[in-house]
Amino acid sequence: MNARRRVEYTRELLEVIGLEGRRLQMINVSAAMGGQFAWSAAEFTEEIRRLGPNPLRSVNGSSEEASASSEQEQLDRLQGAVEG
């Protein structure tokens, strides 16, 4: 399934740049499975809360204050992962 492969690939990229890959999930539910969707959404929300805030943001939440060298290192790692 293409979508599942893309999600797994994106999870790997998130790990490369310093984010937990668990911050991205894919679930398959039909329109008739509203209860299952609500449960999955609640579980995922709790997982994100356990992981905490975005580690790539500075302490006060402003990404503008992140150092340019750190951002460049993250971009370099991401580019390396995408290229091979």
Q: What is the pLDDT of residues 23-61, one digit of tens each?
A: 999 999 999 999 999 999 999 999 999 999 888 876 555
Residue 58, pLDDT score: 60
Judge contact between 51 and 45, C-beta under 8 A: no
What is the value of pTM for the model shown? 0.61
The reported pLDDT for the residue numbered 60 is: 52
Q: Is pLDDT at 18 greater than 80 in this prediction?
A: yes
- SS3 for 52? coil
Let me know: does 16 contact 78? Beta carbons within 8 Å. Answer: yes
User: Could you give the CA distance from residue 82 to residue 79 in angstroms, rounded to a whole number?
Assistant: 5
